Amino acid sequence: MTIPLLSVKTASVNFGAFRALTDVSFDVDAGELVALIGPNGAGKTTLLNVLSGEITPQTGSVQFDGQTITGEAPHDVVARGLARTFQAAEPFQNMSVRENVMVGGVALHRMGLLSSMIGRGTAVLDQGRLRREADEHLAAVGLADLADQQASILTAGQRRLLSIARVLASGARMLVLDEPGAGLNELEKRALGDIILSLSRTGKTVLFIDHDMPLVSRLARRILVLDQGRIIADGEPADVRRNPRVLDAYLGRRDVAQEAPKVIRAVTSPLLEIGGLGVKYGGLLALDSVSLGVGRGEIVALVGANGAGKSSLLRAIAGVEPCSAEKLTFGQRDLRGVTADRRVASGISLVPEGRALFGSLTVLQNLAAGRYALRRARGFHHVVWRDSAERSAFERRLETVYQLFPVLQERADQLAGTLSGGQQQMVAIGRALMGEPKLLMLDEPSLGLAPQVLIEILRCVERLRDQGLTILLVEQNVSAALSIADRGYVLAGGRVIAEGAGRTLLQDRGLTEAYLGSSESEADDAGPGRDVVAVNGG
């Protein structure tokens, strides 16, 4: 019986009362190329942290090459031959590309501090060996011509490749890659994919996370799917894409979507117009020339896989993320150069992913904070003193919020941090409404909520739309979101790839492919060396 190279048995991780991983078990055999996917908040990064020694699971174990490594320090895990990259590829900027890779080999050759300082004997030999090996690893990832250049000049894609070369220098037999394709353009992703396939053909074992499903479909012989901290599928790509549990995890539960009534509305005049908008994080391109519009009184859903750029777009509209745009208007006002607080005062409110409440303040105090930007825009004296007009406006607005969410009036004096997840989401929406928005942007309002609570939240969203409020909705439960949306846009790789009526998009094949990839991308790269690996049970 062959012993798997990596074996995870019933691993569970809790953060306080929150269970990030529950009884996760799977094996990876030597030479396998496996993708780990799952929707936002599924626990993927937590699992990688368990494998690399960053987190010790409360229960369960991790074995590598037959030896238990649970609880070992990260550097000891690397020394055993399991090494990982991170989402943020951060080389030593002032060192050469070659020197960055040499750093990865220092521990492998056990170069001591004293011998390195005096620069003689074994250290001299090892440094020569490190240099030769670094050049070999750079050649393996296609960076040999840049060996003498400073790492600071590298593009985002080249930095990803450099991080892989550095892991190879550690002597790793198994590479764990955390979103290696994040933010890369199509040419860079193609090059990255070629490198990973080449490493696999040389016998390296690879486990990688990525949200770019065409890339996953091209590379992976086997896919593990994590949802809400549990493995829900383990198999060949084609089988995983057809798995009903996977479809529900990515596109939302069908029963939740069916609860939402069908809405047919007339075309309205534009409130928000965006043209050629781009967002970069360092060298990473998060949004690439996005154009869309939101009409007055509409619910517009913005959907796409993790890393598609949805949250970045909301943050750019809110003014909290720098962006470039050919056009960015709100009610005919050019928003370019307008600060975030001024955008709030003009009628744009964002309910961020994770709610961002003041946990040590009461529900009422959190709601009152929603008036701050509006009062500040009217003059500093309005911040320190509420006149009778503001007090009346506050009470009217507060009554509107309480009518929408009666439970908040009952819990007005309760600390927000002690509320349930659904009640906290209500506070977050209520706080945004206190600012009298014309456009309400909701980023993943269902995150961490039970299906029945999601139904309640979406019904409130519809009521707000019926009262004339315009809503831009990012929601991981795609079926539920598109079933109440007047229109929707599908994002993939920072671009809009489809748009249309909400329920029409639900039937669009491109929507499923944006989340789970297509068989065509897998077939394009099938070849003589592309053997299908037997699937473990799970």
Reading across the β-sheet that carries 470-474, which strands appear in turn? Answer: 348-351, 439-443, 470-474, 299-303, 487-492, 495-501
pLDDT one-digit tens code per residue, 270-318: 999 999 999 988 767 889 999 999 999 999 999 988 778 899 999 999 9
Interatomic CA distance for residues 360 and 473, integer angstroms? 28
Strand 67-68 and strand 222-227: pairing? unpaired
Assess whether pLDDT exceeds 80 at residue 218: yes
Residue 262: DSSP 8-state: P
The model's pLDDT over 29-60, given as tens digits with 9 standing for 90+, comes to 999 999 998 876 688 888 999 999 999 999 99
State how far the alpha carbon of 246 is from the alpha carbons of 10, 42, 222, 238, 516, in Å: 21, 12, 14, 12, 9
124: confidence class by pLDDT, cuts 50, 70, 90? very low
For the cut 70, the answer to whether the pLDDT of residue 80 exceeds it is yes
Whether 205 shows a pLDDT value over 90: the answer reads yes
Give the chain's mean pLDDT: 84
From CA 389, how far away is CA 377, in angstroms rounded? Answer: 15
| Residue 66, both tokens | 């037959």
Tokens 């939740």 -> residue: 256
pTM of the entire predicted model: 0.63
> What value does the mean pLDDT take over residues 99-116?
71
Check residue 260 and give its pLDDT. 45
**For the chain, how many helices (H) and strands (E)?**
24, 20
Residue spans of alpha helices (H) in 152-296: 156-169, 186-201, 213-219, 237-242, 244-251, 254-259
Q: Is the dihedral of CA 60, 62, 67, 71 positive or negative?
A: negative
Residue 268 C-alpha from the chain's centroid? 32
Quote the radius of gyration of the chain (alpha carbons, Å): 26
The pLDDT tens digits of the residues spanning 460-506 come to 999 999 999 999 999 878 888 888 999 999 998 889 988 988 888 87
Strands 487-492 and 495-501: antiparallel
Q: What is the average pLDDT across 165-178?
A: 92
List Cβ neighbours of 517 (8 Å cut-off, separation of 6 or more): 213, 214, 216, 217, 237, 241
Give the integer Cα–Cα distance in Å for 213 and 519: 11
The per-residue pLDDT for 538 is 35
| Per-residue pLDDT band at 529 (split at 50, 70, 90) | very low
SS3 content of the chain, % helix, strand, coil (to 5): 40, 25, 35
Band (pLDDT 50/70/90 cuts) for residue 418 is confident
pLDDT of residue 113 exceeding 60, the answer is no
Q: Which domains does the chain have, with CATH numbers?
A: 1-90+173-251+517-538 (3.40.50.300), 92-153 (no CATH), 348-436 (3.40.50.300)
| Rounded Cα distance, 457 and 338, in Å | 31
pLDDT for the residue numbered 302: 93
For residue 443, is pLDDT > 50? yes
Above pLDDT 70, what percent of the chain? 84
Look-up of token digits 């969203």: 461
Annotate 169-185 with DSSP letters as a single string: HTT-SEEEEESTTTT--
What the block records as the tokens of 253 is: 């539960």
Bridging pattern class, strands 174-178 and 82-84: parallel
Higher per-residue confidence, 383 vs 182: 182
pLDDT value at 410 more than 60:
yes
**Other CB atoms closer than 10 Å to residue 9's CB: what's the count?**
17
Residue 32 DSSP SS3: coil
Q: For residues 512 and 247, is the Cβ–Cβ distance under 8 A?
A: yes
Contacts of residue 118, Cβ cutoff 8 Å, sequence gap at least 6: none
Q: Nearest 5°: CA angle at 265, between 263 and 271?
A: 120
Flag whether pLDDT at 432 surpasses 90: yes
Q: Between 513 and 112, name the one with better pLDDT.
A: 513
Are 249 and 451 a contacting pair, CB within 8 Å?
no
Give the span between the Cα atoms of 277 and 291, in whole angstroms.
Answer: 7
Confidence of residue 528 (pLDDT cuts 50, 70, 90): very low
Nearest-angstrom CA–CA distance, 466 and 469: 7
| Mean pLDDT on 320-338 | 94
Place 382 in a pLDDT band, splitting at 50, 70 and 90.
low
Between CA 435 and CA 437 the distance in angstroms is 6
| pLDDT at position 530 | 39
Better-predicted residue by pLDDT, 234 or 155: 234
Q: What is the pLDDT of residue 450?
A: 60
**Looking at residue 483, what is its pLDDT?**
86
Q: 399 pLDDT band (50/70/90 cuts)?
A: very high
pLDDT of residue 384: 61
